[in-house]
């Protein structure tokens, strides 16, 4: 059950981008599982990728193609990750790119491949190449909703966000989709994200935005602490809005960046809200840390604790589990008397133990909510970091135990 995740928004088309979807039968017949995105000539693409060293063949090939030429097409398949497949996996990814390139008259390097699904199984190349003409025939600027459905795996709902605003006297659009529900702990979450705008963005700035906004959104979510082999988040800029090129000196950049950051956060939060079996959406705020790393170490230790996550599922205000996680996060020389831990607006821990004004009834009232904030004040400095996660339910175990059956 997705937590607070509603239906898809109305998508604004992005000038210079078309999307097409097909049912290729990669894992299940009749399921939308192949997506093609077509970019206008002159578009620019930036992205961030998984840090898992067993990265999938399409991740490696995508990086190579990005460095070689300007992308014109993105090819996305679900149902098979093409990871842990060795040299054959790379040859298969190349074959899929070549098929799309031949059908569209571009070079294979102008195609960026993305895959998600089961690890370690050969990619069904024939099904994908057979599906390419159908996806191309379906290309439409209005294809966002179909594409959001077409990139899903264990997701229960499609995920998307879209906005339009004035920039320098021109209407600018940002639209995006993401997928992911399990094997989520980005260092870069299994997640994929595609955000597109018709703004014209200078190449170095585009990559800087992809890296910075990805770090503060997709790289701050976790469902289960597992970094996938296939993660990728791409930022596409077609430059078709007519607005002047954005550079680091542009006075319009702060407004554009704020709108783009909201799209990134919305898509990242949607993944956590739809975490496999999730019943609660949890925000973990660590403040007054000495540096970013120790703030994240504390936040992720709490977020990844199975004891904390199962207590959240049970709505059990067992605050000792949170305290224990903070204590084992590896932060040196913590001043235990100074630390404060809050559940919502209820102080759990103060002066090294249970807060004097804490009561089980107050803690229970917060735990009964679907959306909960755990706030930890370290009293060591001025740094604040936020991580978003969810609980662990019976359904999480069931979904992953039966993933291949």
Active site residues: 190
Q: Which of 89, 146, 85, 151 is nearest to 117 (CA)?
A: 151
Distance CA 391, CA 315 (A): 10
Structure tokens at 301: 């230790």
Distance CA 62, CA 289 (A): 37
Distance CA 296, CA 66 (A): 31
Helical segments of 216-287, H only:
253-273
Distance CA 330, CA 65 (A): 40
Q: Is 160 exposed, middle or buried (0-12, 13-18, 19+ CB in 10 A)?
A: buried
Sign of the four-CA dihedral 180, 294, 314, 373: negative
Distance CA 72, CA 137 (A): 16
Q: Give the orientation angle of helix 203-215 with respect to helix 253-273, to 10 degrees.
A: 40
CB count within 10 Å of CB 369 equals 13
| Residue matched to tokens 């407004």 | 255
| Residue matched to tokens 């077609």 | 238
Distance CA 37, CA 76 (A): 8
User: What is the bridge-based pairing of β-strands 281-289 and 371-377?
Assistant: parallel
Distance CA 77, CA 34 (A): 5
């Amino acid at each position: 059950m997705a937590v607070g995740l509603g239906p898809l928004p109305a998508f604004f088309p992005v000038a210079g981008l078309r999307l097409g979807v097909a049912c290729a039968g990669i894992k299940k017949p009749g399921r939308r599982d192949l997506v093609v995105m077509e970019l206008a000539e002159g578009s620019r693409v930036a992205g961030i990728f998984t840090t898992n060293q067993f990265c999938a063949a399409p991740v490696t090939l995508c990086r190579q193609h990005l460095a070689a030429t300007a992308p014109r097409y993105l090819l996305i398949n679900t149902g098979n990750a093409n990871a842990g497949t060795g040299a054959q996996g790379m040859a298969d990814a190349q074959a899929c790119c070549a098929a799309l390139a031949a059908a569209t008259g571009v070079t294979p390097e102008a195609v960026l491949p993305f895959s998600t699904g089961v690890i370690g199984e050969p990619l069904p190349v024939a099904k994908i190449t057979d599906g390419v003409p159908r996806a191309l025939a379906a290309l439409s600027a209005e294809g966002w909703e179909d594409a959001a459905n077409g990139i899903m795996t264990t997701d229960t709902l499609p995920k998307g966000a879209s906005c339009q605003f004035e920039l320098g006297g021109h209407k600018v659009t940002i639209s995006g989709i993401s997928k992911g529900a399990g094997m989520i702990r980005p260092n870069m979450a299994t997640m994929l994200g595609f955000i597109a705008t018709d703004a014209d963005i200078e190449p170095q700035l585009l990559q800087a935005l992809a890296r910075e906004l990805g770090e503060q959104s997709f790289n701050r979510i976790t469902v289960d602490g597992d970094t996938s082999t296939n993660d990728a988040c791409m930022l596409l800029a077609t430059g078709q809005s007519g607005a002047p090129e954005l550079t680091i000196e542009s006075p319009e950049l702060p407004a554009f960046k704020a709108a783009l950051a909201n799209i990134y956060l919305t898509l990242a939060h949607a993944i956590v809200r739809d975490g496999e079996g999730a019943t609660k959406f949890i925000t973990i705020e660590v403040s007054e840390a000495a540096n970013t790393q120790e703030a994240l170490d504390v936040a992720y230790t709490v977020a990844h604790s199975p004891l904390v996550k199962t207590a959240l599922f049970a709505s059990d205000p067992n605050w000792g589990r949170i305290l224990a996680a903070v204590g084992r996060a590896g932060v040196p020389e913590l001043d235990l008397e100074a630390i404060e831990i809050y559940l919502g607006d209820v102080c759990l821990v103060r002066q090294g133990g249970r807060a004097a004004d804490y009561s089980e009834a107050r803690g229970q009232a917060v735990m009964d909510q679907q959306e909960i904030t755990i706030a930890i004040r370290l009293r060591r400095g001025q740094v604040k970091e936020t991580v978003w996660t969810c609980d662990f339910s019976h359904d999480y175990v069931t979904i992953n135990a039966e993933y291949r059956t």
